[in-house]
Amino acid sequence: MINLIPDFQKQELIKIEKEKIQIIFLFLLNFFFICLLLLFLFLNIYFNSQIQSTNVLITSLDHFKEPEEIKEQIIKTNEELFRINKFYQNRIYYSSVLDSIFLAMPDGVYLNNISFIDKKINLSGFVPFREDLLLFRENLEKSFKQVDFPPVNWSERENINFFVTFSYEKQ
């Protein structure tokens, strides 16, 4: 094939080719430096995190306790857990107490007030007949201890406003 391009244009084309090669080379060189910079940044972050974790480990080793201190701490914790467990074992489930009270109530007995003070329970209410109050007392004595109906509760035959105090023992 015959090259009919004049020498001047050939020089121009060669010059343009060289510029293209230079641009590609510069682009690749810039890409390489950016990748190298990112690599160094990653390594810096990695080593800093390793240094920090080592410092934390060293600090935690400084706070490491002697076996005697650990034993004392275990004993104290066990005592606390024992007290907490004892507290939970001695607690009263008021829902079961209320169930027992309502099961002991015959028809016609109405409660106006219920109060719980430790293991002592105070009730006040209304009963239409003394016989119902007597039945209520008998039923309460089956479920509870120290059932105390004041004598004033028994003075009326009908429409009695009563008050009772009793103790609840955990079963």
For the chain, domains (ranges, CATH) are 94-167 (3.30.1360.100)
pLDDT on residue 36:
95
Question: Tens digit of pLDDT for each residue in 82-127?
Answer: 888 888 777 767 778 888 888 888 888 889 998 888 778 888 899 9
Average pLDDT over residues 1-18: 85
42, amino acid identity:
F
CA 131, CA 137: separation in Å to the nearest integer?
A: 10
- Strand ranges of the sheet holding 158-167, from the earlier edge strand across to the other edge: 110-117, 120-129, 158-167, 145-148
Residues contacting residue 170 through CB under 8 Å, at least 6 positions apart: 90, 92
Cβ count within 10 A of residue 67: 7
Global pTM value = 0.48
pLDDT level of residue 72 (50, 70, 90 thresholds) = confident
Q: What is the mean pLDDT of the chain?
A: 86
pLDDT level of residue 170 (50, 70, 90 thresholds) = low
Task: Decide if pLDDT at 27 tops 90.
Answer: yes
pLDDT on residue 171:
53
Where is pLDDT greater, at 21 or 10?
21
Where is pLDDT greater, at 170 or 134?
134
Q: Which of 16-25, 34-43, 83-92 has the weakest average pLDDT?
A: 83-92
pLDDT on residue 62:
66
Question: Tens digit of pLDDT for each residue in 54-70?
Answer: 888 888 776 666 778 87
CA 58, CA 74: separation in Å to the nearest integer?
A: 24
Asked if 110 and 158 count as a contact pair (C-beta separation under 8 A), the reply is no
CA 126, CA 162: separation in Å to the nearest integer?
A: 6
